Amino acid sequence: MSKIVNYIENFYSRMEIISHRHFIIIMIVFAITGSLALFFTLQILSFMNLKELVSPIIFWPLRIIILFVIYQITLIMVAIPFGEFNYFLRFIKKFLKRIGIKI
């Protein structure tokens, strides 16, 4: 049982989670953000009618890039009502730094 507790404590430490309540809020923000980002991406792609205009070889990478950008924006927008703007801003900066994008 202590291995599980150590794993959870390590995870909380790496993710800078301060309590179980904070963890639940973070998971809710991630869940809402993922759903909204996919919804917005599909709406944008439908509006632009790209699926019929370009080949799948171009469409799918473009869809992933658009989803990535919309996810970052949506993550911040969803975090604001939950009072987690600073946490997710640090999270996004750290993530973008790891993939080589500096802001």
What pTM was computed for the model?
Answer: 0.83
Per-residue pLDDT reduced to its tens digit, 21-79: 999 999 999 999 999 999 999 999 999 988 888 888 999 999 999 999 999 999 999 99
The structural domains of the chain, with segments of one domain joined by +, span 2-98
Backbone dihedral region of 102: left (phi > 0), alpha (psi from -120 to 50 degrees) or beta? beta
Residue 99 has pLDDT above 90, yes or no: no
Eight-class DSSP state of 40: H
Q: Rounded to whole angstroms, how far apart are CA atoms 11 and 73?
A: 25
Cα angle at 35 between 29 and 38, to 5 degrees? 130
